[in-house]
Amino acid sequence: MKIGVVTSGGDCPGMNAFILELAKLCSKTDCDLIGYIGGYKGVEENNFIDLNFNSISGMSLGKRGGSILFTGRYENLKDDKKMIYLKQNLNKSGVDWLVVLGGDGSLRAAKKLSDLGIKVVGVPATIDNDVKGTDYTLGFDTAINKTLEVINDIEDTATAMPGKIYIVETLGGDSGNIAKAAFDQGAADIALIPEMPISDEELVNMVKEKFSNGNKYIIITICEGLKRTMHYSELLQQALNRKVHVTIIGHKQRGGSPTAYDRYMAKQFAKQAFDLIKKNDYGKMVCYTLGKIGNCNL
């Protein structure tokens, strides 16, 4: 049996750890594992490499961020003719199963391939943690911890020079999960996210109230998708006559070594994906809900 694996969309910590574990599982059976280079583009161009466990086990993949297969956004995901072409290439290459790691868009494409008759297993892998059907996606824990590291460092200065406001912009696209997680864990005083919009006046009053209640400084996390980071900086500086500092974490948040939790989840997701393949249960996505790893329909 031949299994193909694709890492699609934005990269995230944990992808390599997943690939390594899947290769290990395949090595214990009669399965051959190949990896398509550059996401779905690799399927289109029939560009792949063998993922023999003995060959990749010494590469320290478990602790490496990014993807050994590279990744990318495929512009033709909504083109039905292109999807049929991808199916034909998979069939020509003798691929029996396709495992797709990625976010919402990548997994929607996986669903299309499944509907066309390809045996597909989806794996939620995005730092945004915004894939429907699962409470957790690979990379989210690492992204949260990167945010907390930045905020912890800022707090040293904030404590030494009180009276200021610090705005920390996180990644996440249109999903505010990372910014909100920092707030939920007590690292931020306010989280500004697309899912819970507030007016300028409300924000100014919230900050005023927190200073009145004894805060020595204010830390605000904001999701990049709002595209209002600099607007809020200028707003608060003018309205409150206080110094506002902006930190944009950027792609540092998406790279780097995965946390222990993301490495663990990568291994568990790989085991669940391989179990679905062994059971010939296709058209499914690995998921984590209510504290348990399982699967749901793509």
247 and 271 inside one domain: no
Range of the domain at 9: 2-139+258-293
Catalytic residue status for 141: no
Asked whether residue 298 is assigned to any structural domain, the reply reads: no
Output the pLDDT for position 5. Answer: 98
Q: Is 276 found in the same domain as 229?
A: no
**Do both 146 and 264 map to the same domain?**
no
> How far apart are the C-alpha atoms of 158 and 115, rounded to whole Å?
54
Same domain membership, residue 169 and residue 197: yes
Q: What is the CATH number of the domain that holds 205?
A: 3.40.50.460
**Are 61 and 172 in a shared domain?**
no
The answer to whether residues 41 and 170 belong to one domain is no
Mean pLDDT per segment of 10 residues, for the chain of length 298 residues?
Answer: 97 97 96 97 97 90 94 87 96 97 96 97 98 98 97 97 98 97 97 97 98 98 97 98 97 95 98 98 98 97
Residues 113 and 199 in one domain: no
- The rounded distance, in Å, linking the Cα atoms of 79 and 1 is 29
Give me the catalytic one of 50, 96, 128, 141: 128
Q: How many domains does the chain have?
A: 2
Residue 31 in any domain: the answer is yes
Q: What is the CATH number of the domain that holds 126?
A: 3.40.50.450
Asked whether residue 56 is assigned to any structural domain, the reply reads: yes
Is residue 234 domain-resident?
A: yes
Which residues, listed in sequence order, are joined to residue 289 by a DSSP beta bridge?
A: 292
Q: Are residues 19 and 132 in the same domain?
A: yes
Same domain (yes/no): 155, 227: yes
**One domain for residues 83 and 131:** yes
Residue 148 maps to a domain: yes
Same domain, yes or no: 21 and 158: no
The pLDDT value recorded for residue 77 is: 82
Q: Are residues 35 and 132 in the same domain?
A: yes
